[in-house]
Amino acid sequence: MEKFGNFKVAAMIFAAGLGTRLYPLTKDKPKALVEINGQPLLQTVLEKIIAAGITDIVVNVHHFSQLVKDYLASHSFEANIRISDETDFLLDTGGGLKFAEQLLKNTDHILLHNVDIFSSIDLNRLIVNHIENRALATLAVKERSTSRYLIFDKKTMQLCGWENVKTGERLESRSSRNPVKLAFSGIHVVSKEVFPMIPAGKKISMTPLYVEMAKTQNIRGYLHQQDQWMDVGKYEDVIKLERKS
């Protein structure tokens, strides 16, 4: 494990999704192994994490899980990569993190990264920001158009709530005199203290958990506005990215 100061930092890649938005590319393979210019999404994210100096990595699997296992077994990376096997039950990000707790028990902080996110974000800066702010969780965010926003206090970047602008649904953690709506980038860092706050054996996203935790906990946003960022979770996005390359 790479140490940031005196802290041990590991990473978890969320690669268990069904990849329905990427069909037909996921007709015979998992989202993690969809290729862009000949390179699987999983390889791209692994290389980015390893380049940041993190060598203890957990990858969760579900859809076509054996193909991911075979890929990792047949490719060499300069990291200790372990599988969190959700073949029998897909648990979403919150449930998936909780399920992997035993694989991550010897670390202080965990970088969480969706497998379908391409970005130029500096992962080291994100992690250091998280540690320096003594946050329970730090979420990478940008100003961009989306249907679901996280709401932060503009001055402190403390999470205050969540809103779905299409449905009008809104969750509030705390009030703010100067709220700002930002889009989540699918990259976040949590401290190990988060584990007791996640229900075991339950399929749940981290987003509502963060909103609930933010009522009493230090949940921060990390604005990375100048970085390039792209969610390649849709078929059209992959085609568009390959045409640009």
pLDDT digits (tens, 9 = 90+) for 105-159: 999 999 999 999 999 999 999 999 999 999 999 999 999 999 999 999 999 999 9
Helical H segments across the chain, by residue range: 41-51, 65-74, 92-99, 123-132, 206-213, 235-244
* pLDDT score of 1: 44
* pLDDT score of 245: 55
pTM over 0.85: yes
Cα–Cα distance for residue pair 92/84, rounded to 1 Å = 12
> By three-state DSSP, how is residue 229 classified?
strand
Q: Which residue has the tokens 């648990």?
A: 91
* pLDDT score of 2: 47
Tell me the HSE value of 144 on the side-chain side, using a 13 A CA sphere: 16
- Asked if residue 3 has pLDDT above 60, the reply is no
How many domains is the chain partitioned into structurally? 1
Q: Are 68 and 59 in contact (CB under 8 A)?
A: yes
Lowest mean pLDDT among 1-15, 26-40, 161-175, 202-216: 1-15
- Please give the average per-residue pLDDT across 82-94, as a whole number: 96
Q: Whole domain around residue 46: which residue ranges?
A: 2-244
* pLDDT score of 174: 96
* pLDDT score of 55: 95
- Asked if residue 80 has pLDDT above 90, the reply is yes
- pLDDT tens-digit series, residues 36-48: 889 999 999 999 9
We report the CATH number of the domain holding residue 64 as 3.90.550.10
Q: How far is CA 47 from CA 53, 214, 215, in A?
A: 10, 32, 36
- pLDDT tens-digit series, residues 51-78: 999 999 999 999 999 999 999 999 999 9
* pLDDT score of 37: 84
- Asked if residue 244 has pLDDT above 70, the reply is no
Mean pLDDT computed over every residue of the chain: 94
